Structures are given as C-alpha cells and as structure tokens.
C-alpha cells in the first residue's frame, strides 16, 4: 500500500516537471527518514501525500553531496 502511494507521488512529481523521480527514490527517502522509529501508519501516509518536491529534492541533493 505504501509503495503504491510512493508511485502515485512520483507520478505527481513527474506532472510537475520532476521527470527523474521514481517511486523507489521516494521509498528510500522515507525509509531513511524513519530510520530510528516507525511512526503510526496514518502519519506515514500523511507524510507521503504531503511531501513537496522541494523537500525531496533538498534531501536528494544532500545525499548526492555525501556521495550516497
């Protein structure tokens, strides 16, 4: 279910002009974000649906600088 939400969000990003974003990239972003503790399902769903492109791209650039 959560991977389907990531796929939907990736499609939304593509419609906004971010063609390089894949569902797997978003899934990795959220796995890293919840590394310490897993929040309740409703919070994860809300975070996926509420993710803005600038927040994701900032994290992606930061990871690229770190060489990951």
Residue 13 CB partners (closer than 8 Å, separation 6+):
21, 53, 56
CA angle, corner 50, sides to 9 and 52, nearest 5? 75
Q: What is the pTM of this model?
A: 0.84
Domain housing 39? 2-66
**Whole-angstrom Cα distance, residue 32 to residue 28?**
6
**Closest among 46, 48, 14 to 31, alpha carbons compared:** 48
**pLDDT tens sequence across 3-20:** 999 999 999 999 999 999
- Given a cut of 80, whether residue 32 has pLDDT beyond it is yes
What are the tokens at 23?
Answer: 């569902």
Total structural domains in the chain? 1
């Amino acid at each position: 279910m959560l991977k389907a939400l990531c796929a939907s969000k990736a499609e939304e990003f593509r419609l906004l002009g971010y063609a390089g974003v894949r569902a797997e990239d978003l899934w990795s972003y959220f796995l890293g974000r919840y590394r310490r503790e897993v929040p309740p399902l409703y919070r994860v769903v809300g975070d996926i649906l509420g993710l803005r492109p600038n927040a994701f791209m900032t994290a992606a650039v930061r990871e690229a600088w770190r060489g990951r």
